Amino acid sequence: MVSLILRYINYIIGAAFAFVLLIALWGTASELITNPPKATAEEEFHLEPEPLALHSDGPFGTYDYRQVQRGFQVYKEVCSACHSLKQVAFRDLEKIGYSEAQVKAIAAGWQIEQPDVNKDTGEPATRPNVASDRFPLPFANDVAARAANNNAIPPDLSLMAKAREGGPAYIHSLLTGYTDPKTFTHDGKSLAKEFPDFTVPTGLHFNPYFPNLNIAMPPPLTQDGQVQYQDGTRATVDQMSKDVSAFLMWTAEPNLAKRHATGFGAVIFLLIFTGLTFGAYRNIWRGIKH
């Protein structure tokens, strides 16, 4: 009898607990329905990358190596001061049209030398780059990188076109997307009016294509003619941004053209093989009636 009473008491306590949880859940749900949370500035004003048409686009895409070379020039003269390219070797530049002699000259003249060790003293030293070396890091370590970049470590760019959604389009939009938050509008809405308390922290820069709108990297491409192209192309900010985006697409996928050619050949082979297989099937079963 006592155990039966205790069981009923447990049922009552459990039911009461479940009832309280349902009340709390209903209160929370009704509050969200009647008073939904206001969207943040990042949700309202973050922009998707603008479309960027490159020769490498599509299943039959290949690289415009003149553009890729211009992009390398932009990286060399602008981006390499902060960003590494540690997955790429100097000799890889032969794949985009540089001669062996040109690659050796580029490697030897690179502003940062390779870390080495003095054979006589064992002390740290440096040596000139050779074609087989990978591009050297712009900073000795992460501490030095943070100290030079407002406590932010510039990311390696070797695979950046594959690591970010939008790829080269994201890179191009980011490089050309710096603007003044006080005058920035999107879909007819003003950032300053919708979020009057929005401020850009000291040391950061407003860019609507960056996920949280504020990026540590200052605008790297600031004016037309910042790079003097060797092929005579007019170096506008937009052109330099497109070219370096094409170059970073190549560093992320240097075998793209070969992969496309191999895939196309494989598809042709499969089509021919399917036709031959179907013909053999019809030939074998031709005289047999069901």
* Residue 3 CA: distances (Å) to CA of 8, 14, 17: 9, 16, 21
Residue type, 25: L
Is 55 annotated to bind a ligand? Reply is no
Q: Which residue shows structure tokens 């969200």?
A: 32
**Does residue 89 contact residue 103 with C-beta atoms inside 8 Å?**
no
Is 82 annotated to bind a ligand? Reply is yes
Q: Would you list the DSSP string of the chain?
A: -HHHHHHHHHHHHHHHHHHHHHHHHHHHHHHHHHSPPPPPHHHHH--PPPP---TT-STT----HHHHHHHHHHHHHTGGGT---TT-BGGGGGGGT--HHHHHHHHHT-SSPEEEE-TTT--EEEE---TTSBPPPSSSSHHHHHHHTTT--PPP-TTHHHHSTTTHHHHHHHHH----TTT-EETTEEHHHH-TT--PPTT-EE-TTSTTSEESSPPS--STTSS--TT-----HHHHHHHHHHHHHHHH-TTHHHHHHHHHHHHHHHHHHHHHHHHHHHHHTTT---
**Does residue 87 contact residue 158 with C-beta atoms inside 8 Å?**
yes
Is 240 annotated to bind a ligand? Reply is no
- Annotated binding site: which residue ranges? 79, 82-83, 217
- Annotated binding site for heme c: which residue ranges? 79, 82-83, 217
